[in-house]
């Protein structure tokens, strides 16, 4: 008998009617004689509402209490799902993270799952039950509730699939798969049938909101094949996999873009060993993610200009940290909120020459200026003015025959 883990996102359980609908999906797997485990997010809007409540209490709300507060959202949705399943004749019960437990390590707000005790889940599955498990959360060595980052329910489902040795892990969301780019921004976007872990990891980290990057990484490390499907329409989704596929006609798999970047330039920094570390150390300690980095050395080698990007929401904190940093001296500090990153992703570019030229030429043909460039084996990212993002995505989508 096959075992499947079904994860339902916030929009999938957004109201009572949607909860009734996803219970029909669960029922369809039971009819196929699957052992079914369900992982649920909080109902759409609930987590944001709880975050807003914490902000009304304090701008520096205690992180442990923040996790205790936010974890209540999944408790509600899981109880409602279990209640509906019992109502339609399917034996079910909800499990909170501490009841298994789901053991985490790392800081509050951003913990990682280390282990899941599945003994009681296996017993319940053995008698035909469907366990409903709270996503997004766990418990640490001090028996405090922790959360594992926004969209962390994906990670819960993937790690549960690992420890329960499930045959499938299916992520149900409000889209029917992974697309070549965001279909809301480009109407010629196509659904991708299969995508490598590395490609999906790049797309997730570069702006695609279908899955959380750390969840894709967990799937890759544990070789858990994932399917992304819609809970609203019955269509074939996207498989995220390590299995080989034909890339003869597919150089670029997808294009990602961001809408909330800020560019920081520190001009006239004294160039000496360790200066970059001195700049980025306080940002790292404050959990500010630095993305694209460009360094320009003066002709005499005595000074350097350092440009890097961060999320716009971290701009004020970053400015404050740089100005308070006594380990560095500089001539000027400048900021630009109106920038976005556009990236092309595909394992096919490893063995295909001319990709960089084609990307830059396609952007130049639309008179789009490139501010910063970064590359890896399977992606090229450029920073452009935010007002040019849609035009850039459309040009690249056409250039690499994704329309």
What string of DSSP letters covers 56-105? HH-TT--HHHHHHHHTHHHHHHHHHHHHHHHHTT--EEEE-GGGTTEEEE
pLDDT over 70 at 220, yes or no: yes
Domain of residue 19, CATH code: 3.40.1160.10
pLDDT over 80 at 2, yes or no: yes
Return all residues near 312 (Cβ < 8 A) that are at least 6 apart: 260, 261, 262, 337
Q: Which of 148, 174, 200 is the last residue of a domain?
A: 174
Report yes or no on 377 lying in a domain.
yes
Q: Which of 141, 174, 207 is the last residue of a domain?
A: 174
If pLDDT is split at 50, 70 and 90, which confidence band does 205 have?
confident
Distance separating alpha carbons of residues 226 and 272, to the nearest angstrom: 46
pLDDT over 50 at 23, yes or no: yes
Q: Give per-residue pLDDT as tens, 279-311.
A: 999 999 998 999 899 888 877 778 889 999 999
Report yes or no on 227 lying in a domain.
no
Q: Give per-residue pLDDT as tens, 47-76.
A: 999 999 999 999 999 999 999 999 999 999
Report yes or no on 250 lying in a domain.
no
Evaluate whether 40 touches 153 at the Cβ level (below 8 Å): yes
If pLDDT is split at 50, 70 and 90, which confidence band does 202 have?
confident
Q: Do residue 152 and residue 266 come from a single domain?
A: no
Q: Do residue 21 and residue 168 come from a single domain?
A: yes
Domain that holds residue 346: 257-399
Evaluate whether 112 touches 105 at the Cβ level (below 8 Å): yes
Report yes or no on 245 lying in a domain.
no
Q: What tokens were used for 89?
A: 């004749």
Nearest to 41 by CA among 211, 276, 206: 211
pLDDT over 90 at 270, yes or no: no
Least-confidence region, from 33-47, 88-102, 129-143, 178-192: 178-192
Q: To the nearest whole percent, how much of the chain has pLDDT over 70? A: 98
Please state, rounded to an integer, the average pLDDT across all residues of the chain.
92
Q: Do residue 168 and residue 294 come from a single domain?
A: no
Q: Give per-residue pLDDT as tens, 187-199.
A: 999 999 999 898 9
Q: Do residue 137 and residue 274 come from a single domain?
A: no
pLDDT computed for residue 298 by the predictor: 74
Q: Where are the alpha helices (DSSP H) in 222-296?
A: 275-285
Q: Do residue 262 and residue 168 come from a single domain?
A: no
φ and ψ of 167, to 5 deg: -80, -30
- How many other CB atoms are there within 10 angstroms of residue 323's CB atom? 8
Nearest to 229 by CA among 184, 175, 182, 181: 175
If pLDDT is split at 50, 70 and 90, which confidence band does 31 have?
very high
Q: Do residue 13 and residue 154 come from a single domain?
A: yes
- How many other CB atoms are there within 10 angstroms of residue 86's CB atom? 14
Q: Which of 114, 140, 174 is the last residue of a domain?
A: 174
Quote the number of domains for the chain.
Answer: 2
Domain of residue 307, CATH code: 3.30.2130.10
φ and ψ of 109, to 5 deg: 80, -20
């Amino acid at each position: 008998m096959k075992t499947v883990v079904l994860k339902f996102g916030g929009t999938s359980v957004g109201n009572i009617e949607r909860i009734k609908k996803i219970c029909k999906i669960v029922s369809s797997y039971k009819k196929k004689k699957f052992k079914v485990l369900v992982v649920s997010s909080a109902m759409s809007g609930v987590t944001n509402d709880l975050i807003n409540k914490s902000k009304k209490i304090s701008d520096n709300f205690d992180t442990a209490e923040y996790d205790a507060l936010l974890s209540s959202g999944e408790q509600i949705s899981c109880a409602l799902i279990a209640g509906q399943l019992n109502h339609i004749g399917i034996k079910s019960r909800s499990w909170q993270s501490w009841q298994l437990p789901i053991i985490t390590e790392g800081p509050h707000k951003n913990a990682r799952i280390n282990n899941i005790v599945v003994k009681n889940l296996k017993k319940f599955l053995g008698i035909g039950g469907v366990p409903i498990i709270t996503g997004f959360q766990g418990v640490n060595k001090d028996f405090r509730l922790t959360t594992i980052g926004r969209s962390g329910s994906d990670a819960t489902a993937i790690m549960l699939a690992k420890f329960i040795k499930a045959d499938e892990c299916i992520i149900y969301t409000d889209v029917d798969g992974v697309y070549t780019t965001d279909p809301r921004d480009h109407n010629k976007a196509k659904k991708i049938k299969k995508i490598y872990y590395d490609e999906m990891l790049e797309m997730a980290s570069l702006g695609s909101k279908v899955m959380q990057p750390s969840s894709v990484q967990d799937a890759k490390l544990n070789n858990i094949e994932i399917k992304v499907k819609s809970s609203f329409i019955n269509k074939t989704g996207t498989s995220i996999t390590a299995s080989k596929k034909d890339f003869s006609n597919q150089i670029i798999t997808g294009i990602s873009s961001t809408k909330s970047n800020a560019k920081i330039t520190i001009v006239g920094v004294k160039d000496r060993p360790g200066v970059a570390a001195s700049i980025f150390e306080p940002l790292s300690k404050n959990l500010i993610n630095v993305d694209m980095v460009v360094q320009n050395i003066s002709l005499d080698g005595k000074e350097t200009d350092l440009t890097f990007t961060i999320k716009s929401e971290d701009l004020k904190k970053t400015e404050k940290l740089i100005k308070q940093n006594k380990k560095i001296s500089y001539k000027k500090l400048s900021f630009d909120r109106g920038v976005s990153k556009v990236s092309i992703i595909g394992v096919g570019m490893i063995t295909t020459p001319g990709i960089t030229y084609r990307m830059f030429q396609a952007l130049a043909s639309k008179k789009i200026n490139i501010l910063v460039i970064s590359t890896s084996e399977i992606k090229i990212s450029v920073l452009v003015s935010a007002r040019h993002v849609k035009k850039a995505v459309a040009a690249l989508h056409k250039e690499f025959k994704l329309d």
